Amino acid sequence: MKRAIVAVLSTVLLLSLIPNYNSFADKPDNVGNPEPISIEKLLEPKSIKMADGRVLEKRVHIFPNDNAAKPDGKGGPPDGKGGGNKGSACYSEISKGAKWKSSIGESYIIDDSNSGLASGVALAGIESSISSWESEITSGTSVFGSGSEGILDPVAIANAQTPSGTNEIVFAPLSSSGTIAVTITWGYFSGPPGAREIVEWDQIYNTYWNWGNAGPTNENELGDTNVMDFENIAVHEVGHATGLDHSGDCVEETMYAYAQNGETKKRTLNTGDIAGINSLY
């Protein structure tokens, strides 16, 4: 009898040591307690020489938090006076001529297990951000296709040595709390401008920040300063996905390189942003 009990207990113990693979199915390794993604590693240059001689490159666009840059929520230097609307000169391309050339809008997928926003809210925010850009393209070009939800691995996206073939959006901790978000663009950024193009974009939103809806859209006011307004940041990041870089000293543009909690003004494109998207498409 004792031997039978021991045998049963041994069997139970062995079974308890066997992983339940169904519980891990389709889930990335870092779900639950992810390690911060290294900004330094993200910035490591990546380039691949293709069979046709062209060079495929990775460009990384860091969007930092800087309260000194926008103390009044209006943009401008640290004196708090805002300013800097220089009209159509206020835009910069990632690389002259580099844009999406597919006749079919680029689809994308957003992580439905993110710890930033509920998936439906995040997807709606990206869709609205895309509309902000596409509604200003006078040629009527649709750059983006439809969005969907799924389970993604932020670490795999950050460490990718080559494009995955899918435009992916995730929320994950980044090693710098001063970084709000990152957009990675893969493309051909050298050679004749007419031969340059973007082939993939991915985005990482830093879970250090409390993502949500900061409220008022009046650019002369900050909304809820405890919230990083998702759409305010997403419109900027989508701008990178179209082929635009930061707007330099033009602080009133959506593509200005700094933002802060409570800011909502980047939801609405400025003249330089509009000129930039139309220069590409």
Q: What is the pLDDT of residues 174-204, one digit of tens each?
A: 999 999 999 999 999 999 999 999 999 999 9
Specify whether the CB–CB gap between 147 and 109 falls below 8 A: yes
Report pTM: 0.81
Better-predicted residue by pLDDT, 90 or 23 = 90
And the tokens for 262? Answer: 């409570």
Segment 263-276 shows an average pLDDT of 97
Domain membership of residue 25 (yes or no) is: no
Q: How many other CB atoms are found less than 10 A from the CB of residue 149?
A: 16
| pLDDT tens by residue, 197-243 | 999 999 999 999 999 999 876 667 889 999 999 999 999 999 999 99
pLDDT (average), residues 252-269: 96
- The pLDDT tens digits for 83-116 are 333 345 899 999 999 999 988 899 999 998 777 7
pLDDT tens digit sequence for 111-144: 987 777 877 999 999 999 999 999 999 999 999 9
Task: Name the domain count of the chain.
Answer: 1
CB atoms within 10 A of CB 231: 21
Percentage of the chain exceeding pLDDT 90:
71
**Does residue 273 form part of some domain?**
yes
- Judge residue 184's burial from the number of C-beta atoms within 10 Å of its C-beta, 0-12 exposed, 13-18 middle, 19 or more buried: buried
CATH of the domain at 180: 3.40.390.10
Residue 251 domain boundaries: 46-66+91-280
